[in-house]
Amino acid sequence: MKPQDVVTGKSSLWIFGYGSLVWKPDFKYKRSKVGFIKGYKRRFWHGDNFHRGDDEMPGRVVTLIEEDDACTWGVAFEVTGAQVEESLKYLNVREAVRGGYLTRTVQFFPRGTNQSSVQALLYIATPDNPIFLGPASTEEIAAQIAVCKGKSGHNIEYLLRLAEFMRVSCPEVDDPHLFSIEAALLTTITPILLAAQKPVELL
C-alpha cells in the first residue's frame, strides 16, 4: 500500500510513531496525541545501516510484529493541508528509502476518556526486508546497540530516548522488551563510563 492511497480525497492525516518519531518527528504537524494501537508488539528486530549503524555494523531499531493480544504505545501526529504532502515526502526518504519500512493503516486509540479512535498511517519493517535481523537474546541486542553508530547518531541514544519517552509519557505502561534491553545496555556500559571518569595515574 502506498501512502498516497490513504490520503486520496482527504485534507488531513494521522501518522503513528513508535520509535524515533516519538521524540524526533522532524516534520510540521497540527497536533499530537499519546496513545496506542492494537494487534502489534514493538521489537528491536530491524537492522539499520543508515541512521543508527552502517553496512558493516548495522544497528538495531524497532519495528512492529503482529500479535493479537498485544498493543504498542506511541504518538500520533495529525498533519493537515500542505503538511500532508510535505510529511509524506520527508518520511518516504527517512523511513522507506533509508530504513526499508513499508506503510500500513491501523486504528489509533488516544489515551484518555471520551477519545475516539482514528485511522493512522504507520511505517513497519517486515521479515522479508533484506536488513531485517529478527529475534535475539536481550544481551545480544544490547551488546549490538552499545557499539553501533550511524548518520543520525549512536544506537544507544535511540534506545535510551525511546525508554525515556515511555517512562515520561506512558508511566502506567510496562514494556518488558524495551526496558530489559535498556537495563542490559546500562549494565554493559556503566562500568566503562565509570572507568573513563577515573583520573589517570602517572607512573
Q: Which amino acid is at 86?
A: E
Give the Cα separation of 13 and 27 in Å (integer).
13
Question: Which structural domain, as residue segments, surrounds residue 85?
Answer: 3-190
Residue 76 resides in a domain: yes
- The pTM of the full predicted model, rounded to 2 decimals, is 0.89
Contact 21, 63 (CB under 8 A): no
What confidence score (pLDDT) does residue 202 get? 52
Place of cell 499519546: 34
Dihedral sign, Cα of residue 55, residue 57, residue 63, residue 65: positive
- Domain count within the chain: 1
Active site residues: 95
What confidence score (pLDDT) does residue 114 get? 87
Segments in the chain forming alpha helices (H): 3-7, 82-91, 138-147, 155-169, 176-197
pLDDT of 138 above 60: yes
Q: What is the pLDDT of residues 153-185, one digit of tens each?
A: 999 999 999 999 999 999 999 999 999 999 999
Residue 195 resides in a domain: no
What confidence score (pLDDT) does residue 8 get? 60
Q: What is the pLDDT of residues 79-111, one digit of tens each?
A: 999 999 999 999 999 999 888 899 999 999 999
Q: What is the pLDDT of residues 57-85, one digit of tens each?
A: 999 999 999 999 999 999 999 999 999 99
Residue 186 resides in a domain: yes
Contact 77, 12 (CB under 8 A): no
Instruction: List the CATH number of the domain containing 45.
Output: 3.10.490.10
What confidence score (pLDDT) does residue 113 get? 82
Residue 201 resides in a domain: no
Residue 199 resides in a domain: no
What confidence score (pLDDT) does residue 101 get? 93
Residue 152 resides in a domain: yes
**Residues with Cβ within 8 Å of residue 160, at least 6 apart in sequence:** 182, 185
Q: Beta-carbon neighbour count of residue 146 at 10 Å?
A: 17
